[in-house]
Amino acid sequence: MGIQGELFDQVPAIPGLRRVAEAISPAEEAEIARRIDAAPLKPFQFGQWRGKRLTTSYGSAYDFQRGKLADAPPLPQWLAELRGRLAPLVGLEAGAFQQALLIRYDPGAGIGWHRDRPQFGDVIGLSLGAPARLRLRRKVADGFERRAIDLPRRSLYRLSGEVRQDWEHSIAPMEVLRYSVTFRTLRR
């Protein structure tokens, strides 16, 4: 087991991609999962399509029907405190992250290929409950260049710069329960 906040050293060489091992303790992981389960989760909605993952947003939300940011409830205290502890692990100020997304991936749920909406800037994600594999791809002349990184339980990743702008990411459906907490900066 790594030291809390220890940097992994086997991250694919994509500028802007960073990963931190053991960003939180096992006890904190259990408490965060409990809080996500208690949150007002709803199936992810993208136009007429309804995803299997359950989500709720704080600070702001992206309204896929209208194609713009919308207001969301303020971050609860526990989530603001978590943001305050995670942001410095990837070299950022906590206050820069104005949006939070809680996600519960029930068995069979994943997230398809996407790039976070352009209204958002840097992204950090905390992976909980089960290890996952973050798949990355970018369009090249003859198809896609692909990479992947493992996201062990309690690990934190950051997407900024090239990996945030030029690469899409996804997580294939898994047959186990998994949670994540995502924080995003807003672009002005």
Give residue 92's identity as a one-letter amino acid code: L
Please indicate, yes or no, if residue 103 is contained in any of the structural domains. yes
Identify the domain containing residue 143 by its residue range: 21-186
* DSSP structural state of residue 11: -
Please indicate, yes or no, if residue 47 is contained in any of the structural domains. yes
Domain count, the chain: 1
Token pair 């692990």 is found at: 89
pLDDT at residue number 9 = 42
Please indicate, yes or no, if residue 5 is contained in any of the structural domains. no
pLDDT at residue number 53 = 87
pLDDT at residue number 15 = 92
Please indicate, yes or no, if residue 110 is contained in any of the structural domains. yes
CA atoms within 13 A on the CB side of 120: 25
d(CA 29, CA 34): 9
Task: Determine the angle formed by the axes of helices 26-38 and 77-86, rounding to 10 degrees.
Answer: 140
Supply the CATH number for residue 147's domain. Answer: 2.60.120.590
pLDDT by 10s per residue, the chain, length 188: 333 444 444 555 799 999 999 999 999 999 999 999 999 999 876 656 667 889 999 987 766 566 666 788 999 999 999 999 999 999 999 999 999 999 999 999 988 898 877 777 899 999 999 999 999 999 999 999 999 999 999 999 999 999 999 999 999 999 999 999 999 988 87
Please indicate, yes or no, if residue 46 is contained in any of the structural domains. yes
Please indicate, yes or no, if residue 101 is contained in any of the structural domains. yes
d(CA 107, CA 74): 29
The order of strands in the sheet holding 155-159 is: 17-20, 155-159, 120-128, 178-186, 97-105, 49-58, 42-46
Please indicate, yes or no, if residue 6 is contained in any of the structural domains. no
CA 69 and chain centroid, separation: 18
Please indicate, yes or no, if residue 127 is contained in any of the structural domains. yes
- State the pTM of this model: 0.88
